[in-house]
Amino acid sequence: MSASRDATQGQASRQKRWSRIAERGSMWGMRFTVWCYRSLGRPVGVVLVHAIVAYFFFTDRPGRRASLAYLRRVDATPAGRAALGRRPGLWASFLHYRAFGLSILDRLAIWAERTQDFAYAVEGNEICDRLAAEGRGGIVLGAHLGSFDALRLLAERQHRIVHALMFTEHAQRINTIFRELSPDVELHVIESDSQSIWSTFRIRECVRRGELVSILSDRVDPDDRGRTSRVPFLGGTVELPRAPFLLASLLACPVLLMLACRTGPGHYDVFTELLTDGTAVGPEEREKIASELLTAYAQRLEHYCMKYPYQWFNFFDYWGDEASS
């Protein structure tokens, strides 16, 4: 007996298929790359990443189609075309895959080597400084655009606590590798327990302690169970999860967008934007606030996609074009 919502189809199932493939590949690939990276050094790691990227590029047809579909949408805007620097063809798509591979390599550098060699150009840091001075926590909306681990390293340097909310088994498995690599590092991971509807209280407790909780909000999770909205994004509409935005409006806390986009070896541009300062609103206003946040998030994400087109790491049918055709 079920009283209301149906399970989410659409983006969640498309993403799940891609996740299974990516997970299978990334698990063995990452373990092997870690071994090479540690034993033979970064230059060998870079060569190996190119080989792995080439393998995936030539064998992952759905991913390649998704990459091209995304690059064409970016290319349809003047700013996006300028940032792409080339036609959205196979070479651009390969560079897209390569950017993903290099970001994984940077993750390994962060976790395996505890590197301090990363250089950051930071915009909007004063927002975090102000919140810290006021003792206020907040929700950080992230995306599969750039590198969360680069952000995490920066937060560590700045002595800020940023918890990562993990929804999926996929993310947990990947993180198992990182735990193996750096057993001494405190992960600050909040694992969303699908068996307990009360686990969301952990987020509220962190925010109340003045800490930040980051949620990757650009993919629909199977646990979202129909709680999604379609919003304009890069010339079409996409299905995004409503839960992070509803949660933010319920907690009435500051909501930030934070992204770290790779600009070269060991170099990242970091952006922090305040989407809302978190004014408390009545229950009847919360849905409206959540919708506004969701739209603002998608607009800013679009802006950064056009600025850093190769940093978008959603290699599946994001717009549902193939599903609908």
Partner 1 sequence: MHAANEIFDWVADVLKQQFQIREEFLRPDARLVDDLDLDSVDAIDLSIRLEEKTGLSFKEEDLKAIETIQDIVDFVHERL
- Positions touching partner 1 (CB under 8 A) are 1-5, 192, 196-202, 204-205, 223, 225, 227, 243, 246-247, 250-251, 283, 286
Strand-pair category, 267-276 with 138-142 = unpaired
Name which of 7 and 82 has its Cβ closer to partner 1.
7
Name which of 86 and 209 has its Cβ closer to partner 1.
209
CB of 286 to partner 1, least distance (A): 8
CB of 15 to partner 1, least distance (A): 19
CB of 38 to partner 1, least distance (A): 39
Name which of 183 and 282 has its Cβ closer to partner 1.
282
Name which of 112 and 213 has its Cβ closer to partner 1.
213
Name which of 149 and 224 has its Cβ closer to partner 1.
224
Name which of 4 and 324 has its Cβ closer to partner 1.
4
Please state, in angstroms and rounded to a whole number, the distance separating the CA atoms of residues 156 and 103.
19
CB of 141 to partner 1, least distance (A): 15
Please state, in angstroms and rounded to a whole number, the distance separating the CA atoms of residues 177 and 259.
23
Q: Which two tokens stand for residue 155?
A: 């937060």
Cβ proximity of 176 and 292 under 8 Å = no
CB of 239 to partner 1, least distance (A): 17
Tell me how far the alpha carbon of residue 312 is from its chain's centroid.
9
Q: Which residues pair with 257 in a beta bridge?
A: 141, 273
Strand-pair category, 138-142 with 189-191 = unpaired
CB of 184 to partner 1, least distance (A): 27
Phi, psi of 117, deg, nearest 5 = -80, 0
Please state, in angstroms and rounded to a whole number, the distance separating the CA atoms of residues 259 and 242.
20
Cβ proximity of 258 and 270 under 8 Å = yes
